[in-house]
Amino acid sequence: MTDLNPGSTTVETFSLRDYAEKAYLDYSMYVILDRALPHIGDGLKPVQRRIVYAMSELGLKASAKYKKSARTVGDVIGKFHPHGDSAAYEAMVLMAQDFSYRYPLIDGQGNWGSPDDPKSFAAMRYTESRLTKYADVLLGELGQGTVEWQPNFDGTLEEPMVLPAQVPNLLLNGTTGIAVGMATDIPPHNLTEVVAATIHLLENPKATIDELCDFIKGPDFPTEAEIITAPEDIRATYTSGKGSLKMRAAWRIEDGAVVIHALPYQVSGSKVLEQIAAQMQAKKLPMVSDLRDESDHEHPSRLVVVPRSNRVDLEALMSHLFASTDLERSYRVNLNVIGIDGRPAVKSVHKILSEWLVFRRTTVRRKLEYRLERVMRRLHILEGYLVAYLSIDEVIKIIREEDEPKSALMMRFALSEIQAEAILDLKLRNLAKLEEMKIRGEQDELNEERDYLEKTLGSDARLKTLIKKELLAVVDAHGDERRAPIVAREEAKAFSELELTTSDPVTIVLSEKGWIRAAKGHEIDPVSLSYKSGDGFKLAAKGRSNLPTVVFDSTGRAYSMASHNLPSARGQGEPLTGRINPPSGATFEGLLTGSLDDRFLLASDAGYGFVARFSDFQTKNKAGKAVLTLPKGAQLLQPAAIGEGVELQVAAVTNEGRLLVFPLAELPELARGKGNKIIGIPSARAAAREEILVGLCVLGDADVLQVTAGRQHLKLKACDLENYRGERGRRGNKLPKGFQKVAGLSVVQSG
């Protein structure tokens, strides 16, 4: 009779908080240890290991015929994986993609995705697969007592806990995974380099990380794109187990166009094209005229960028594209892995290789011990066969006549149970065919092998030599050259807004009231433009849209702004005070544009000035920059451009018609200040504005100076100017009568 008394049942009770915490921790450890992180031994996650093992059990070796992938996944794998068939198939696809795995484990037929779209693979019922030759380095020693076995997910069969890898596959193919509270990102490496480092560590257990890095230069991705991370940064990453890498697309010039022939690891070519096309549509790549995708089976990555002209700086263009698109990509490195102790940890490359060598040494020792055991067993059986051969007639008689032949044989010939069973397992006709020569020949071979195995197991040096030979054999079979070169490159820089502006001719126009605008072309007549009522033309400067504009106010401050942002001359412009903050009551007296190296002559009408470079006027400050210091009561003159030439002359004229010509070299080049005396004007007269400087220009040898006085013009050639030449700061000589009320000076180029 069943006891229904509740008091007789023992029930475990604990708080909901403790229950939730335990459940979460259990789940976390399950994700970490059984799903997301690879094992240091074979470098595989459980689902990958199950796929590879299942395919080997189905006979899908490299030499076998292709079989439907659904057979592997659906029948054997799907039920093992919490996410089902599709997730397992996705893991399988990854191992088959030669653009994802450096050394693919699966050889596939059909659509297994493309570098452009890795997840475009066909359903598993449409694809066929088998293992690659490389997979043998993981499976080759399976039946040799090298692995621990565990029941699978539903307990229907045994599966290996870790595959007996002959090389450090963890580093070779790399992996990524997201667990609970941790992640792993291990980049792929080159087999030849990793094995060389492993052998060095095997022979020199005290080798440093720097010594290993002499062999392993850096990761080696399945793409020809360049790794541009500095070697010292790579070493720091290998030392700590954490860091980052940068890859950059490889390109060359063909027929004046840029051909991108290798993309960074797992970068989509179509996405890169979209990114470049978006910039072109937004008019942020004016130097690019066309964009093409010429990728095919022979050239999986071939993107063509056609420049607008042969004057485009392709190096600068590519630097911009590297900075603004996926043509340059950063990769996180986090060498988080389940160690031989069964615990996850972030390890250095030195630690990874050291632990793998411990794993490999254990595997090789187990393989040798297993083989030695088989050899000893066979030798024992052969001894029994020899006894049987020497008394063959008696043995056959016992087998035929005795009810219990095994015990009879053991008693008569002092055989062991194993020997007796081996004799009985032979058919009588085979027993009669036993030959002493064959038995003794096999014994000699096995004795030789036994001696070799015992010597190897008993000597650490011999064991190391064996491991080294096995590693070198794998290199001979699967080793190759590095694919991803490690190249030192300058940091990529995106174009500034100014650099992306087209170089079109513009005329900057400033009105009397301080309204500014930009007209296209240099043929424009600024005086004839429409102005607001009570306003009119004041200053104009000819330049290009990609060159900055500088405005000077009456206090000697300079304000810079981008020319391409100025309002169009179709309208009446906009007030400068909306863009800059001049002092109260200041008016705008100077306007110029040019490149940063251009030189200008700055002067006040008090007769003082200096030479300055256009770069000295540049400022981001809306309040401007103090450049010219004005004497009391003095005003700024429109700066005079200084052209190219050796013996340049300065021509300065006062309102009283005094003209002075002197070499430009006599004036200093300053960034700011009052400057030196250009023409001698008495201070009192200058302060009272009785005599002021009204005209200033810079002449070349062949230039003609034009003096404007009212409606009259006077042209002075080089020979005519001799009368007015003198030292800087002199009073100068009077112009002819009728030209003494000077309105301005200008330079006329000689024919």
**Residues with catalytic annotation?**
126
Other Cβ atoms less than 10 A from the Cβ of 107: the count is 20
Please give the backbone phi and psi of residue 329, each rounded to the nearest 5 degrees, phi first. -135, 140
Structure token digits, residue 582 = 């001049």
Q: Strands, E, within 630-692: which ranges?
A: 640-642, 649-654, 658-663, 676-677
* The residue type at 472: L
Strand partners, 185: 176, 334
Q: What is the CA radius of gyration of the chain?
A: 44
Nearest to residue 526, comparing CAs of 542, 541, 512, 509? 509
Q: Which residue has the tokens 């009456």?
A: 554
Residue 169, judged by CB atoms within 10 A of its CB (0-12, 13-18, 19+), counts as: buried
Nearest to residue 555, comparing CAs of 581, 537, 523? 581
- 473 CB contacts (<8 Å, ≥6 apart)? none
Phi-psi region of 181 (alpha: psi -120 to 50; beta: other; left: phi over 0): left
Nearest to residue 668, comparing CAs of 644, 687, 650, 692? 650
Structure token digits, residue 437 = 């020569």
334, 242 in Cβ contact below 8 A? yes
Residue 550's alpha-carbon distances to 9, 155, 658, 694, in angstroms, are: 93, 82, 30, 21
Q: How many helices (H) and strands (E) does the chain have?
A: 19, 35
Structure token digits, residue 734 = 């009077």
Query: Apex CA 402: angle with CA 398 and CA 406, to 5°?
Result: 75
Angle between helices 405-413 and 417-425 (to 10 degrees): 120
Angle between helices 436-458 and 349-390 (to 10 degrees): 150
How far apart, in whole angstroms, are the C-alpha atoms of residue 122 and residue 704?
80
- 303 CB contacts (<8 Å, ≥6 apart)? 259, 260, 269, 272, 273, 291, 292, 293, 294, 295
What is Dmax (Cα atoms) for the chain? 157
Structure token digits, residue 18 = 């403790």
Coil vs helix vs strand at 224: coil
- What is the four-CA torsion angle of 538, 542, 548, 553, rounded to 10 degrees? -20
- What is the four-CA torsion angle of 189, 191, 195, 196, rounded to 10 degrees? -80
How far apart, in whole angstroms, are the C-alpha atoms of residue 626 and residue 673?
8
Other Cβ atoms less than 10 A from the Cβ of 661: the count is 21
Q: Which residue has the tokens 């009212």?
A: 710
How far apart, in whole angstroms, are the C-alpha atoms of residue 41 and residue 48?
13
Sign of the torsion angle spanned by Cα atoms 309, 310, 312, 315: positive
